Chains A and B, each alone.
Chain A
Amino acid sequence: MTDKSADDAQFEVFYAETSRSLWAYLLRTSGMNSIADDLLQESYFRYLKADWPRVEPTERRFYLFRIATNVLHDHFRQQKRSGTAVDPDDVPNTGRNLNLQLDLAGILREDMTAREAQLLWLAYAEGFSHREIARMTGLGENSIRPLLFRAREKLASLLTAAGYDRQNRRRT
């Protein structure tokens, strides 16, 4: 009983630390709000169902993102099998830096492949190492660097075409 409460308390802290990052990852990789909501729930369900208290605390974030990556792959596989294409929801926005957000969200969703968006996000938004990304995605560790390089070059040229300078401000 006490253990369960302690685990629950531990989970609540972990959830507060990770849920927003995980949702952003799922949103920018799947491209849809409603799907990101569903995948977030599924990821935490699987995480809770697994024996998560035995995972080292320092490994838990990686473990969660690995589960979420599997959930994403399952989702894409199911989508491919059923041939269903859902219209993207409105991209959420805030008053801050609205142009960049809308444009980058649109670029990630429409001009980049899901794999490219996923790799860029894991490496630069979440700061995972190439080894961790390889373990999450099932790709070879040596292939992460060139894949990231190509994805980065592509995004850089798309950002330039959209009119951003390095301070992420529109030039036009």
Chain B
Amino acid sequence: MSSLIEECPTEEQLLRALSNDDLIQWSEHVAICSKCDAFISVVQAIRQEAVVSRQVAELPSARWMLLHSEIRRRREAADQVTLPLRWMAGGGFAAGLIVVAAALYAADPTIFLGVPSLTDPTAHTSQPFGVLIAIATTPVMLLVMCVLRVIWAED
């Protein structure tokens, strides 16, 4: 019995033999070695599957890929450039709300002393309802902006 039959070839040797269609040199060994036989079965099955899978692939052309890549690159660049502008627009909107609230307050300071207690009609202390709304508006708007930004970014 030759040493070829007694000793298993390395994985690399078997792979090389498979690639070069030169498996015959190991045929005696493989016939009696279940480990090498299983190895070759797996590699051959995967390679055969790879050949078939590659044949059935329906792929876009390279030009399509280049074109869409360029479109996407430009869109990302545009997003990057307009990001500060969008943040400024959001900040401006929030600042505008504060200015409006301040102007209203300046015109009529009682405007924010609004809502008397509904449960206690005799109570004259009013809750600063309008002021709370005006103050709450800014962070809420910022939050909404952030949420919308995340949603748009995912789209």
Q: Which residues of chain A have a CB within 8 Å of any CB of chain B?
A: 8, 11-12, 15-16, 19-21, 23-24, 27-28, 40-41, 44-45, 48-49, 92-94, 96-97, 100-101, 104-105, 108, 120-121, 124-127, 152-153, 155-156, 159-160, 164-166, 168
Contacts and interface: CB of A to CB of B under 8 A. Distances in A.
Given A11-B66, A15-B62, A41-B68, A28 B41 contact: no
Nearest to B72: A45
Contacts of B39: 152, 156
B122 interface: no
Interface stretch (B45-53, B85-93, B95-103, B137-145): B45-53
A45 B62 contact: no
Nearest to A153: B38
A48 B69 CA distance: 7
B134 interface: no
A19 B40 CA distance: 26
A8 B61 CA distance: 12
Nearest 8 pairs between A and B by C-beta?
A24-B53, A125-B50, A15-B62, A156-B38, A20-B54, A92-B56, A12-B62, A48-B69
Interface string B45-84: 1111110111111011011011011001100000000000
Interface in B24-48: 37-48
A168 B50 contact: no
22 contacts: A15-B62, A15-B65, A20-B59, A21-B54, A27-B53, A28-B49, A40-B59, A41-B60, A48-B73, A92-B53, A92-B56, A93-B56, A101-B53, A104-B46, A121-B50, A124-B42, A124-B46, A152-B39, A155-B46, A156-B38, A160-B41, A168-B41
